[in-house]
Amino acid sequence: MLPGTGIEPGSPSVWLFKLEKIRRNVDRLGGPVSLPLIGNVHQLRRNPKDFTRQLFEFMKEYSHLKVFRLLIGGHPLILVCSPEEAEPLMNSTKHLDKASDYNFLHPWLGTGLLTSTGDKWKSRRKLLTPTFHFKILNDFVSVFNDQSKVLLEKMRGLADGKTTVNVFNDITLCALDIICETAMGRSVNAQLNSDSDYVQAVYRASEYTFIRQRSPWLWPDFLFRLIGPGKKYDESLNILHSFTEKVIKERQHEFWKRYDQNKDITMEQLLSEQDLSMGQKQRLAFLDMLLCTSSEGKRLSFLDIREEVDTFMFEGHDTTAMASNWALHLIGTDVSVQKKVHEELDAIFGDSERDATMDDLKEMKYLECCIKEALRMRPSVPVFGRSLTEDIVIRGVPLEKGTSVLIVPAAIHSLEDIYPDPETFDPDRFLPVNCVSRHPFAYIPFSAGPRNCIGQKFALLEEKVILSNIFRNFSVKSMQKLDEMCPLAELILRPGEGVKVILTPRKKAM
């Protein structure tokens, strides 16, 4: 019997009592009024655009609390909206497990680097960190350039200086081609074939995962398939996994033709022993590095490799695509900012049409400030989730082990005491002199602490190449106000109304 209740353990009443106890406890943190059993589900808007608007309204309304809660049925979500409250959670070596909400990605990504927990995550992180070695990133720059040229050719056909065009899909498909080639060594030619089954499957899998995350009645597998989009989701996963598996098998065959399958190949050997063909070094893909990676003397299994490739395809595509789209829009809204971008690029390249090099990218300091400011205003990942690995107290409220805590960059990046007039695009915020006294967890677009994004350097380099190629060749005038972009906070924060601009070919000032 539970003390003071008269309720016998094991009865349905015990379960209901526990749910109500959890609700009353987390309600002390504040937030929209919750109801027994259903929590806040009845208040959450179903339309994705309306839901995103509501989420931003919640963040603004409860920002003074620094932490507030939402209840999805009996599942509490603790939203952390200040750097002071985020730091001990993100810097912790204990609370490294992803929130249970990430479990809905397991059918797609398995338990790769994004979704794994505990010892598996620690060993994978250690194994995969060398794959983002400077030399490897340097080799990837040529892929960024090649795919950006395809994007430029498409844009030249749209650039007449007077017609409004939506470049959202063009930039997104460019990012997809880049991640396919760098992760798998194959291109799906998404920029030239946007109707491909693979491209559409990526979008559908993301959409169905997000629908399920915020719909408790779809959490059980059988209901997801019976009354939800579960069957369509399975069809999309079959397309994605079949493509990945086919590429892995082909790449394995090629890899072991070049190297002795019975010989251990180290990452250093792989980098130094690449075949030379027609005088050019053969490009390595992320997949090649996985094939030679060993854990405790054992090579990664086929499934291990697939889940990491699928993870990088997911994480490395949408995030960089959205960051590039938001940055393009924001730079296109401010003539003075764009003038500085043009001047910086002209100083680096003059009237040359040559590809950007790693040294060039280091010189794009103002463009980097623009990218960082865009990520502040519209972070590609608006929320990061953690699952508490032990009981803790937040703002005087005890929270049990297993509770989902969501750190919200979208809220932290909008705090007026840190970023005055936060909805104004001001790249100067990220000049070195203006960052010195800022709280280290006041800017976290790539997460922070031990579980920060392993690919953040990759992402920034890619975005610099895409955007520098665009602004070297065009002047961009954004035809939407920021509040007309209708952000969609799905798995990634995307502009719901696209990115509508006027492109004008530019003559470079010398």
Query: And the tokens for 328?
Result: 């393009």
| Segment 82-97 mean pLDDT | 89
pLDDT in tens, 274-309: 543 333 456 678 888 888 776 555 678 889 999 999
| Segment 212-230 mean pLDDT | 90
Query: And the tokens for 140?
Result: 């990837």
pLDDT in tens, 318-341: 899 999 999 999 999 999 999 999
Other CB atoms closer than 10 Å to residue 31's CB: what's the count?
Answer: 23
| Segment 376-390 mean pLDDT | 92
- Asked if 237 and 74 touch (Cβ cutoff 8 Å), the reply is no
Q: How far is CA 309 from the centre of its chain?
A: 15
Q: What's the farthest any 2 CA atoms get from each other in the chain?
A: 84
- Asked if 284 and 274 touch (Cβ cutoff 8 Å), the reply is yes
Dihedral sign of CA atoms 319, 123, 250, 243 in order: negative
Q: What is the pLDDT of residue 331?
A: 98
| Segment 452-471 mean pLDDT | 95
Rounded distance between C-alpha atoms, residue 173 and residue 500, angstroms: 16
| Segment 200-214 mean pLDDT | 85
Q: How many residues does the chain have?
A: 510
Rounded distance between C-alpha atoms, residue 12 and residue 138, angstroms: 60
- How many CA atoms lie within 13 Å of 492's alpha carbon, on the beta-carbon side? 24
DSSP character string of 5-54: T-PPTTSHHHHHHHHHHHHHHHGGG--S--BTTTBTTTTS-SSHHHHHHH
Query: And the tokens for 505?
Result: 């070919």
| Segment 183-192 mean pLDDT | 86
Q: What is the pLDDT of residue 318?
A: 86
The answer to whether residue 273 scores a pLDDT higher than 80 is no
Q: What is the pLDDT of residue 282?
A: 61
pLDDT in tens, 17-46: 788 888 899 999 999 998 888 888 888 887
Q: What is the pLDDT of residue 5?
A: 37
Q: What is the 3-state secondary structure (H, E, C) of 254-280?
A: HHHHHCCCCCCCCHHHHHHCCCEECCE
Rounded distance between C-alpha atoms, residue 364 and residue 16, angstroms: 58
Q: What is the pLDDT of residue 271?
A: 61
Return the CATH superfamily for domain 92-381+445-505.
Cytochrome P450 (1.10.630.10)
The residue with greater pLDDT, 190 or 223, is: 223
Q: What is the pLDDT of residue 492?
A: 87
- Asked if 374 and 57 touch (Cβ cutoff 8 Å), the reply is no
Query: And the tokens for 214?
Result: 């915020």
The answer to whether residue 1 scores a pLDDT higher than 50 is no
Q: What is the pLDDT of residue 157?
A: 92
The answer to whether residue 168 scores a pLDDT higher than 70 is yes
Q: What is the pLDDT of residue 270?
A: 62
Give the rounded percent of residues in the chain with a pLDDT score beyond 70: 91
Task: Give the three-class secondary structure for 437.
Answer: coil
The answer to whether residue 382 scores a pLDDT higher than 50 is yes
Dihedral sign of CA atoms 95, 99, 103, 106 in order: negative
174 is in an annotated binding site: no
Q: What is the pLDDT of residue 279?
A: 39
Give the rounded percent of residues in the chain with a pLDDT score beyond 90: 52
* Domain regions of the chain by residue span: 92-381+445-505
What does pLDDT average to over the chain?
A: 87
| Segment 72-92 mean pLDDT | 91
| Segment 423-442 mean pLDDT | 95
